[in-house]
Amino acid sequence: MRPTNLLITLSNGKSIIYVAEYSTRPENGYFVQNVLLPLMLLNDSEEEISFLNKHCTLSERRINAMYRYQINLAIKKVKVFEEIYNSYCNIFLGNEITKRYLKYLTTLKYRENTKKLEDALTNHIEELLTKTEQRFIIHITKELKRIGRTVSINEFSETPFCDEVKDYIEAFKLNDEEKPICEVSFPNIKEKHLTSIICDSEMSAYDISVFIDKLQEIPAKKRKVYHLKGRNGVCDISFTIDALIPVLQSRRYEFSEIEKFIDNSKFKTDFNTPMGNEFEIMHEMLLPLGDEFFKIKGTELIVIATDYIYPTSLTEKGVKFLEI
C-alpha cells in the first residue's frame, strides 16, 4: 500500500511534513473520520503535533506516495491531490481531487450526529465554494427570505439540476440558521444543504443562474396588512410592508433615542398586528437605504418600523436633518 504525503501548516503558521503509511484515499472512512477531522478541530500547535505523532510519521516527502493532502490548520482548509513524482524534472505533480474528499464529507455530514463535527464539515464545504458560488448562495438566501415559505419543485417550469439527481429534489427552504436547504428523497437523506449540492457538481453555474431567475418569479408569502386608524376625522391607512419607503438618515438610531417622536394624535398604532418576521424580511430587502424611518407610499406619513409600526410627528425632511 502506497503512502500519502501530508503537507501541514500548523495553527501557529509553521509548516511541517508528515507521511501516512496507510490508505488515505479521499473516500477512506478511517483517515477522514479518525485522523483528519479530529485534527481540524484542534487549535494548539503542540496538541496538533502530539496528535499527528500518534497517527503519522514525521518524514520527508515520499516519491512513491499516491496522494498529497495540503492541510492548513490555521485557516482550517484542506486540498487533496494525486501525487506523481517526475524524476526527470525532480518535481511533484498531480491533479487536484478535493471534490472527491468533499463528496465524502457531504455523505458523512448526514450520518454524523456530533454537532461539533457537523459544524466543522459545514465550514469545510463552504470554504471550498468559489466566490461566485458564494454570491449565488447569498442571492438564493435573500430570495427564499423574500418568499417566506418552502418552495416546491413543482413550482418550477424546469428543474435546474443534473439528470442524476433532479428526480430526487422535492423542495427548497431556509433552515433555522437561515442556510438554503433542499428537501430530497435520497436513500437515508431527507435534506441536503444547497452548498453541498453545488460542491457535488449536481448544479452547474448555468443551473444556479436559472434557479435564481425562477425564484425571482415566485410571489412572496401573503403579506400582513397593517391598519393605522385615523383620529379626529383623519382617514384610516391600510398597507403592507411593500408600501414602506425607507427615508435616508444621517446615522442609525436606537429605539430609545427615537421613541419620543411617536405620535398617536392623528393615527393610532396597530397593536393587533405585530411585525414579527416581516421586520427582518423588510430590513433585508431595504438595507442599507434606511433602517428606522419609513414613509408610507402615497402619503406623507413617516413611521418607525420595529416590533410594531408606529406613526410619528416627523416629516421626511425632518428625518434627514434629525439631530439627537
Q: What local confidence, expressed as pLDDT, does residue 160 receive?
A: 82
Q: What is the pLDDT of residues 214-234, one digit of tens each?
A: 888 888 777 789 999 999 889
Give the strand pairing for 4-9 and 67-72: parallel
3-state secondary structure 33-84: HHHHHHHHCCCCHHHHHHHHHHHCEECCCCCCCCEEEEEECCCCEEEEEECE
Burial class (CB in 10 A: 0-12, 13-18, 19+), 5: buried
Q: Where are the domains of the chain?
A: 4-96, 129-217, 226-320
Lowest mean pLDDT among 82-96, 124-138, 235-249: 124-138
Rounded-to-integer distance, Cα 149 and Cα 75, Å: 35
Burial class (CB in 10 A: 0-12, 13-18, 19+), 169: buried
Tell me what the mean pLDDT of segment 260-275 comes to.
93
Are 73 and 11 in contact, with CB atoms under 8 Å apart? yes
- Full DSSP string of 197-236: HHHTTSS-HHHHHHHHHHHHHSPPPPPP-EEEEE-TTPPP
Q: What local confidence, expressed as pLDDT, does residue 48 receive?
A: 93
Q: What local confidence, expressed as pLDDT, does residue 286 receive?
A: 53
Q: What is the pLDDT of residues 111-168, one digit of tens each?
A: 544 455 555 555 555 555 666 677 888 889 888 888 888 898 888 887 788 877 888 8
Question: Is the model's pTM score more than 0.85?
Answer: no
Determine the 3-state secondary structure of 294 from DSSP. strand
